[in-house]
Amino acid sequence: MTIIPPNPCLEASLELNKLGIKTIPIRNKIPTIKGWNQYSDQSKRGLKKMFEKPDVDMAIRTDNLTVVDCDDENTLADAETLYGKSPFITRTPRGGGHLYFKNDGETSDTQYLRKKNLNIDIKAGQGAYCVEPASKGYSIERGSYLSLLELPTMVPYAPLKPRDRNLKDQRISGRIRDPQKAKKGSDSPVAKDGRNTELFRHARELAHRNPHIKYKSLSGACYELNRAFDPPMDDWEVENVVNSTWKYKQDGKILVAGGEATSLVTKTLLKEFSGNPDALVLYLFLQQSHSNGRQFAIAGEAMAEHNCLHGWTRKRYTKATKDLITMGRLIRTSQGKVFKPHMYLLGTQCNKTVLSGL
């Protein structure tokens, strides 16, 4: 009986292929197939042929990915502070690591960051690849291959996120100078306003993506970004942005554009709902769904059928709704009729007599 030795690169390539991620065989970090960036057979048969030789390693094509390639442990920690936390991190044989992000227009760069004394390479988009953890000496430190389906984009940290190699030193107020003027060599910027707003936005993004970030790291990142402005803001202005962001972080009020819907739960609110958790859950759900001030219906049967709140039944919705009305957190604005449901508005504490008359 012949025992076929395991082929980790082939097994990994088949698993990644199911996730829509393309792989290529490499030897000494060099692709073993010509024209790999234009053609490579990703069928099961093609992958078996590419990885049939035991001396080849495997690389992931970064078609829809951005990989931050760090040379050592310290650089890896700094990169996660600057670019954001990634759910998928791999380690290299020499102690470095790779942070994976969803590509958001970044391009590969192996020189610009080195000139800034950062031991980081950016491998992004088509035409680039990154050695994958099934290769000899590589390993997964955080996450699994499934994590590649839930990658965030990296923090839009201007000085360290080159998008246009010809214009990356022309940044101003968090933006790039007008391309036409930059190409003509003009030193006249498009605008010099909005620096404070731009810095505050970057600081919030950084704090949002890195819940365990230290004050010193946040401050250092903000001062580094400020140096990219033309002209930089005064130190006291930067310090105000850092302190404001840090206070929001400590209060749990960091909100970012495009982020997941957020509800603010104060100590007063927790105390008020301490004996009725179901009412609190429904209240927060309605707050997120109906924050526009318009009237809405609460159809318990339909909400239970669509599993709006996991595991809730119609009776559970009905009881929580009655409790919210009693507490004054929900106001019934119109009485329902046949084929016409009750209509509600979110309210604050008010007179129960008024509520009962609605």
Taking only the tens place, the pLDDT of each residue in 21-36 is 999 899 888 888 887 8
Instruction: Give the mean model confidence (pLDDT) for residues 164-173.
Output: 35
Domain assignments of the chain as residue spans, ordered by start: 8-160, 171-177+193-250, 267-356
- Token digits for 206? 């950084």
Predicted pLDDT at 291: 67
Report the amino acid identity of residue 257.
A
> What residues contact 50, with CB distance under 8 A and at least 6 apart?
13, 24, 25, 32, 33, 40, 41, 56
Whether the predicted model's global pTM rises above the 0.95 cut: no
Predicted pLDDT at 219: 84
Q: Is the pLDDT of residue 231 over 90?
A: no
Instruction: Give the mean model confidence (pLDDT) for residues 138-166.
Output: 71
Q: What is the residue-wise DSSP string for 225-258?
A: HHTTSSSPPPHHHHHHHHHHHHHHHHTT----TT
Q: Is the pLDDT of residue 313 over 90?
A: yes
Instruction: Give the mean model confidence (pLDDT) for residues 156-164.
Output: 43
Q: Is 267-356 CATH 2.40.170.20?
A: no
> What is the tens place of the pLDDT at every residue in 89-142?
999 998 899 999 998 877 887 776 776 677 888 898 888 899 988 888 899 999
Q: Is the pLDDT of residue 254 over 80?
A: no
> What is the tens place of the pLDDT at every residue in 180-199?
433 333 333 323 457 888 88
Predicted pLDDT at 163: 38
Q: If we measure between CA atoms, which residue out of 210, 171, 170 comes closest to residue 83? A: 210
Q: Is the pLDDT of residue 342 over 50?
A: yes
> What is the tens place of the pLDDT at every residue in 294-312?
788 898 888 888 888 888 9
Instruction: Give the mean model confidence (pLDDT) for residues 73-93.
Output: 87
Q: If we measure between CA atoms, which residue out of 194, 154, 203, 152 comes closest to residue 171? A: 194
Instruction: Give the mean model confidence (pLDDT) for residues 198-217.
Output: 81
H-assigned helices in the chain:
8-18, 44-50, 73-83, 112-115, 179-183, 195-209, 215-226, 235-250, 267-272, 277-289, 300-305, 314-327, 352-356
CA atoms within 13 A on the CB side of 235: 1
Predicted pLDDT at 98: 94
